Homo-oligomer: A and B are copies of this chain.
Amino acid sequence: MKLLEDRILADGEVIGGKILKVSNFLNHQIDVAFLDELALEWKHRFEGVKITKILTIESSGIAIGASLARVFGVPLVFAKKHQTSNVNEDVYSAKVFSFTHDQYYNVVVSKKYISKGDCVLLADDFLANGNALKGLIEICKSAGAALCGAACAIEKGFQNGGDELRKAGLKVESLAIIDKMDSNGIEFRKEV
């Protein structure tokens, strides 16, 4: 999506070869009107899919999830991160490895808020190795909920998460896929 690619080029900052900082519009300071435009693009890409719930993970997925919940007219649920494995029987949980923080954490969702009749659209700001999404997928499976797909703003195409999930049959819609980035610039994957 050109709008997002242009914004990344204008406001993003590449640190080393792996980190892209977009904290002035996406995940620290948030341009809500901009997120609403992204949400409309996802609405178009998931046209005709009977989504009943948006599922994301705290914290940086929440604002995107809220914009999505608004355009689809469904509730947003955000999974909570727990550093301990002290989870109880009222929740679905999954263990996720964070490369950013180099540690495992648990993501949990109350059993009340995801259930068998749901068709869930996953949402997040970044997709790299796909570990966070895999945690959410595990939670949906535990709940017996159907997966409608995943809406991610920025995908690091040079890591394998997105392509792996697509191969497994998930409809993954990232609005900007970065195939290469370094101090010389950012190369986006061409949209097909």
Residues of A bordering B, CB below 8 Å: 23-24, 28-33, 35-36, 58-59, 62-63, 65-67, 69-70, 73, 75-78, 80, 109-110, 112-113
Contact B66 A24 (CB under 8 A): no
| Residue in B30, B65, B110 whose beta carbon sits within 8 Å of that of A69 in the complex | B30
CA distance A24 to B90 in the complex (A): 14
| Residue in B29, B31, B62, B80 whose beta carbon sits within 8 Å of that of A62 in the complex | B62
Q: Which residues of chain B come closer than 8 Å to A76, judged between CB atoms? A: 29-30, 32, 63
Contact B28 A77 (CB under 8 A): yes
| Residue in B24, B58, B59, B66 whose beta carbon sits within 8 Å of that of A112 in the complex | B24
Contact B63 A29 (CB under 8 A): no
CA distance A69 to B25 in the complex (A): 13
Q: Contacts A58-B58, A70-B33, A70-B36 given; indicate if A113 touches B28 (C-beta within 8 A).
A: yes
